Structure formats: structure tokens, C-alpha cells
Amino acid sequence: MPAKADILDQLRRSVAAIERGEADPRDSTAADLSAPSSAEDEQRGAGTSPCCCVAAAGERHGAAGWPTKRAVPAGSSRGPSFRRAADGSCEDESAPPAEGKTADAAFQKILRWAAVRERSTAYVRERLLRDEFAPTAVEEAVERARRVRAIDDRRYADALVRTRLAAGKGLRDARSEIEALGIDPESLDAWQEHAARGREAEVERALALLRRRPPRAKQVREAAFRKLAAQGFDTDVAASAARLWYEETLAAAE
């Protein structure tokens, strides 16, 4: 298994190649990675009312809430330039970034995370904001990472499905997370491959989990159902597997 340092080095070489306009060494075909998805365009376009940012800049408002005059601090040639950040807050574009909290530093963090495992855009945004990077630096870093394919939500979603299946878990929670990324789970290769095996195969997977780790409770059938539901199996699959496992348990006790 490659070391994290080797993976990170390979990832950085790929980034450099893509940003030079060359094909990604990880792929045999070059892809157009510059265009953001329509869902992300809508997200960035949402909530662009200037009112709170205008108020922060000390402007007066007309009847429609739009600025009529900007207040300029004494001794300044111009007032601060405010914009609405991705999280809905207002920030001063003219203010210098906090020391070490630049967009490039945020991008390097994303590369380090991506060298360990696949990450979603939602995850890296949340982590960078929690690490006190400015929203503008976060968005710049995320867009750059998407452009060079360091992060890719479809790739992350496909890996998530395969990881859950390999761990013997159900996909109910994975479906919710994938849909929150704006992706139809049933459009993923891993999801389609799993669905093609049919419901009986899913019941057998749930049954195998109960055989490996049987519940310990007085009402064992109900406990088996709760265990499977907690592991992400759909309720009908959990009910069927719990019944079969309970019948097996009774037969073995006779």
C-alpha cells in the first residue's frame, strides 16, 4: 500500500499538470474540469441580497433596500468592500487574510486530506471554516480542488457506497448523504452493481451481519431488527433478516 507521502506527491504532480493545461497523469483522457455544476451555481447565486453587507459597510438604503451612499472612514480614500460569503455572512474583501489562512494554505490542506481518503466538497468546506479560514479563501480553495479533481463528489459517493458494502452495512444513510450532495445514488456504478444483485442478496447480507454479531437481549427478534436498522438497512430488509435469523436461532436451540 503506498505511503501517504507518496500519494500526496503524486496528487501534487497531477495538480501541477492540470493547472499547466496538460492531461491528468491519473487518467488516460483529459476532462473539462473548469465548469461548476448547476447545483453549485444555484447555491452560489442564492442569497445575494446586499442588505446585510450594505449595512455592515455603513451605507444608507432606499425603499428597496439598495445602497444610496457609501460611508468612507476618515483618512481613507475609499470605504471597505463587503461581499456576502458562502455561509451567508458578510466579509470585508479589502481586509488581508489572517496569517497562514490563505486560499493556497486551504488548498494544501485539501490535498493532504484527499491523500488519505476521498472527501466530499461538503466535508472540506466545513473543516476549513472550522479551522477559521475566511469563506472567500475556502471557496477559492474548494473550486481549485474541484478543477484539478483532487475532490469529486461523484467519485466520493461511489467510494462511500463501496466502503459501506465492504463493511457489511446497509445503504440507507449513504443514500441520504449522497442525495445531500445533489447526486442521484442510483446513477452511481457501485449502486447499480449492488442493486443488480437483488433484494434477496441484501437480506442475506443483513442476515450475515446478525450471524457474525448476534444481538444480546430478551426480545432478540426486536433487537435484531433494531441492530440492522442502526446499520443502515432498509426496514423491510431488516424485518425479513431478523425473522429468518430468529427462526434459525429457535431451530438451533431445539
Q: When comparing pLDDT for 245 and 97, which is higher?
A: 245
**CA–CA distance from 190 to each of 68, 186, 243, 245 (Å)?**
55, 9, 28, 27
Asked if residue 141 and residue 48 are part of one domain, the reply reads yes
The phi and psi torsions of 82 (rounded to 5 degrees) equal -105, 150
Half-sphere exposure of 126 (CA within 13 A, CB side): 5
The three cell numbers of residue 43 are 447555491
Q: Are residues 104 and 227 in the same domain?
A: no
Phi, psi of 91 (to 5 degrees): -140, 155
Please tell me whether residue 99 adopts helix, strand or coil conformation.
Answer: coil
- The answer to whether residues 7 and 104 belong to one domain is yes
**Category of 98 on φ-ψ map: left (φ > 0), alpha (ψ -120 to 50) or beta:** beta
The DSSP line for 186-254 is GGSHHHHHHHTT-HHHHHHHHHHHHHHS---SSSHHHHHHHHHHHTT--HHHHHHHHHHHHHHHHHHH-
Range among 46-50, 64-68, 76-80, 230-234 with highest mean pLDDT value: 230-234
Q: Is the pTM of this model over 0.75?
A: no
> Do 168 and 229 have their domain in common?
no
The verdict on 145 and 191 lying in the same domain is: no
Tell me if 74 is assigned to some domain: no
Domain membership of residue 101 (yes or no) is yes
Residue 73 falls inside a structural domain: no
| One domain for residues 134 and 60 | yes
Tell me if 106 is assigned to some domain. Answer: yes
Q: Tell me whether residue 172 is in a domain.
A: yes
Assign 42 a pLDDT band (cuts: 50, 70, 90): very low
Whether 219 shows a pLDDT value over 50: the answer reads: yes
**pLDDT tens figures, 107-128:** 999 999 999 999 999 999 999 9
**In a domain? residue 34:** no
The pLDDT of residue 65 is: 40
Residue 22 in domain: no
Whole-number Å distance between alpha carbons of 81 and 74: 15
What does the pLDDT read at residue 24? 65
pLDDT tens-digit profile of 134-171? 999 999 999 999 999 999 999 999 999 999 999 999 99
Q: Which residue type does 240 have? A: S
Q: Is residue 134 part of a domain?
A: yes
Report d(CA 230, CA 246) in Å as an integer. 18
Instruction: Give the Cα separation of 121 and 150 in Å (integer).
Output: 10
Q: What is the dihedral of CA 108, 109, 114, 119, to 10 degrees?
A: -130
Domains in the chain, number: 3
Between the alpha carbon of residue 24 and those of residues 28, 37, 113, 115, the distances in Å are: 7, 20, 19, 16
Tell me the pLDDT tens digit for each residue of 92-105.
444 455 567 899 99
Give the model's pLDDT for residue 251: 87
Q: Can you give the residue range of the structural domain that contains 245?
A: 199-253
Question: Whose grid coordinates read 454479531?
Answer: 213
